[in-house]
A and B are shown apart, each in its own frame.
Chain A
């Protein structure tokens, strides 16, 4: 592999993207330096040779030369297309996560990162990940635009209110790296950051089993989601069977939902989020708009937890609806 020793002007290469990224970067840099030096040298040479008063040959100065014009248009264009194709290949790779990637949820808010691992361990402004495992971050913002950036991984993605964005990487080197917010988000923008800690897979498993270093209750997101379900008595309307008040949600996740406006959608995380926060947008066929919106009551963390709980309602096929409303476990 093309590994460089850690030079002070090259950020550490700590993900599987970094090596190819740097190869692209330094290739473009070589082109930049070549064209800059060549052009400046030509200019300096002409200035010296044809300086006023020199006795250089100035007979028949050319006015134009079509072959030359075409050459210096087409050759840079071909070079540009090669650079484009190489970048396109890598960009697509960076945008499409592997199927087996481990999902970690990220919520950005002024001015802090909330991160949540699959078993519910949560971290603030720090992300602990295992080496050699593809990690997919599913991200959303609670308020304004943010951007999740780890320079040593060469990855970055804006985090937007109102919809999920995605980022994936695979850490390749144990160590501690920078985590920055790179989309200006207000007063403490420059302090909305922390670090990413890459540990061995064994250490990660141990750390997870210990519930991370958090002082938060070590509940799984599904358990937290169930607590929300109970707290807002969702089961009063969404019971074991479809009723006039509302459809049953058992087995709903992943199925096709048809709406009164003739459209349809698969019930996925995006759909659940919209249906909970803005129920008036899409009404299920055969029902009327009676559900209140929860956009003021639930934060993005809670919506994720709720949707993960709803997903399990199909898997367990066990009615969760009749559980008595209880619990304030937030």
Chain B
């Protein structure tokens, strides 16, 4: 198909170009596809479903907590709802969201490759994910799980009489889908980069995905073993974690957090990667301190494996262990701080446009900053003792995982939506939703910091023992309703844009990066010819900066779509040097 556009010069009526979306419309062409872009769309639909389920559960939790004695539910039902929220959001939304949707779509495009290294394994990863997700949904339909997403033993192994076995097996399976994705990314980034795309010319999104994949393939097998042992103790009564059977319940926590702390970085690193691309594109400057930002991802991946015990300062682990885990935790905070300072410095002398992705990107920095800094309270041992397992912790990790990961995910979705679909989303609604999410998020979780410091434990259905907590819970629920509107809006306008959105053209943002040199949506094999990279990363001096490109009329964009899609930064340097268009 690569030859069609050049081969037929005299056809008067422009034929609709074949791209990955219209190249086959049968159900099997989707369900048996090995095209990374179609698999990304399958993942997009799946994780959106899980986000809806998890979000609904969160809404019910917030409504229930507006009264100290609850409103709708019995204890058991409430416990199942917050467990559902945690399990679905962590294992079936936050972990896969950016790697499996945006990463799947972009890693080959950013590398200048035609697909991931192992396309069939990529498809298998989606099926494994769906199998795991189905088991989790089945567990929910058969009555639910009441252990919380952490599955602490011996409650989960010997005491809970809910559908723990099914849910654990679902999580076990979902882990393999991450491992497949991780292997695919590592091999693709190592072996399939376009000529000239050296390691230090890679977009920082790829560095982040690379670091994430390393964590995934080293960490996920540990949670698989842990869940398998839990399964063995629950079903076969094999004593591993329960003292009644000769096991040790704290051992479970060590094994669980050995994966689940690095899993936080599996969630946040890709969002940091997205933020790099957004900040750079919408300030039209190279990321300040590129190599520091790149290596900080690897530092986080490495140190992230050595801090799990900071979840266990009051668990009964030794005092000396607590000291060691605490100091390493302080060390891992530094690479995150480096990233934030470098992003702020990137804005200096840039040319900043506040489009929707930029609002999400700046929102990410603000929320992740608060999430990271409030982590200091919890990595400090004495300070953690009082705050541990209270709403302070709940607020902190939501700032990182929701304020961070979901802001990054939404920003990325908006930035690459034109690439994925060929259509622009409505800009005004996009900016409105970004602002609603930012404001609603802070309204929801700042009161939780306060009520946590006052002592409200997490996972509490009733708080009639301390009714003074109510006012903060009501404030939080009000914020959550604003947040819900902010999250719901894109669902509608993005679907609307599929049909009615303005045509995007290959590079609506005039962004740097190989993915912008091919059509939107890209053809099935991404690039007609293998691209050759001759410029540094984020070489925005070489990318033309048309003042009005965002506001351009539809026909204008369409004209560009039909025109030359070859990108400036592939051209030789002297040629691009003549093209620089100054700001003044």
Contacts and interface: CB of A to CB of B under 8 A. Distances in A.
Nearest to A33: B373
A178 B334 contact: no
Contacts of B461: 189-190
Given A53-B547, A160-B250, A46 B352 contact: yes
Interface in B117-148: 146-148
B397 interface: no
Interface stretch (A34-42, A240-248, A249-257, A313-321): A34-42
B380 interface: yes
Contacts of A181: 457
B388 interface: yes
Nearest to B455: A151
A215 interface: no
A143 B155 CA distance: 8
Given A31-B373, A39-B369, A184-B459, A72 B465 contact: no
Contacts of B290: 63-64
Interface stretch (B323-331, B413-421, B558-566): B323-331
A100 interface: no
A202 interface: no
B488 to A, nearest CB: 27
B455 A178 contact: yes
Contacts of B340: 39
A61 B385 contact: no
B457 A24 contact: no
B376 A83 contact: yes
A15 to B, nearest CB: 11
Interface residues of A, number: 87
Contact of A95 (B242, B319, B351, B377): B319
Contact of B351 (A58, A144, A187): A58
A145 B350 contact: no
Interface string B147-182: 110101011000110000000000000000000000
Contacts of A94: 382, 385
Contacts of A47: 347, 352, 354, 362
Contacts of B289: 64-65, 68-69
Contacts of B369: 35-36, 39-40
Interface in B345-368: 345, 347-354, 362, 365-366
Given A72-B337, A84-B380, A183-B152, A10 B453 contact: yes
A266 interface: no
Contact of B159 (A90, A143, A160): A143
A51 B152 contact: no
A178 B385 CA distance: 16
B314 A156 contact: yes
Among A29, A31, A58, the one with the most B-chain Cβ atoms within 10 Å of its Cβ is: A58
Contact of A9 (B322, B331, B341, B453): B453
A58 B330 contact: no
Contacts of B348: 46, 50, 61-62
Interface in A43-85: 43, 46-47, 50-53, 55-65, 68-69, 72-73, 76-77, 80-81, 83-84
A155 interface: yes
A1 interface: no
B344 A25 contact: no
B573 to A, nearest CB: 16
Contacts of A185: 155
Contacts of B350: 46, 50, 58, 61
Given A69-B292, A72-B341, A189 B322 contact: no
Interface string B239-251: 0001110001110
A193 B469 CA distance: 15
B79 A162 contact: no
A190 B389 contact: no
Contacts of B331: 77, 80
Nearest to A181: B457
Interface stretch (B29-37, B219-227, B280-288): B280-288
Interface in B300-314: 313-314
B463 interface: yes
Nearest to B350: A50
B385 A184 contact: no
Contacts of B532: none
Interface string B242-283: 111000111000000000000000000000000000000001
B478 interface: no
Contact of B344 (A46, A63, A157, A162): A46
A88 interface: yes
B463 to A, nearest CB: 7
Contacts of B147: 184
B78 to A, nearest CB: 8
Contact of B79 (A50, A76, A182, A189): A189
A191 interface: yes
B462 A58 contact: no
A90 B331 CA distance: 20
B238 interface: no
A32 B446 CA distance: 13
A252 B352 CA distance: 78
In this complex, the member of B376, B386, B461 whose beta carbon has the largest number of chain A beta carbons within 10 angstroms is: B386
A211 interface: no
A87 B381 CA distance: 6
Contacts of B148: 184
A197 to B, nearest CB: 14
Contacts of B390: 151, 182
Contacts of A86: 380, 382
Interface of A: 8-11, 21, 24-25, 28-29, 31-32, 35-36, 39-40, 42-43, 46-47, 50-53, 55-65, 68-69, 72-73, 76-77, 80-81, 83-84, 86-88, 90-92, 94-95, 110, 143-145, 147, 149, 151-152, 154-158, 160-163, 165, 178, 180-191, 193-195, 295
24 contacts: A9-B450, A9-B454, A10-B453, A11-B455, A25-B377, A36-B366, A36-B373, A43-B362, A46-B344, A50-B349, A52-B547, A56-B349, A62-B349, A72-B338, A91-B322, A145-B152, A156-B389, A157-B314, A180-B457, A180-B465, A182-B457, A186-B79, A191-B75, A191-B462
Interface of B: 75-76, 79, 146-148, 150, 152, 154-155, 159-160, 242-244, 248-250, 283, 285-286, 288-292, 313-316, 319, 322-323, 326-327, 330-331, 333-334, 337-338, 340-342, 344-345, 347-354, 362, 365-366, 369-370, 373-374, 376-377, 380-383, 385-386, 388-390, 450, 453-455, 457-463, 465-466, 468, 547, 583-584
Given A73-B338, A151-B454, A158-B315, 9 more contacts: A9-B450, A32-B377, A80-B331, A84-B326, A84-B330, A155-B385, A155-B386, A160-B315, A162-B248
For the complex of A and B, the 6 pairs showing the least CB-CB separation, nearest first, are A151-B455, A162-B243, A46-B347, A90-B382, A91-B381, A190-B460
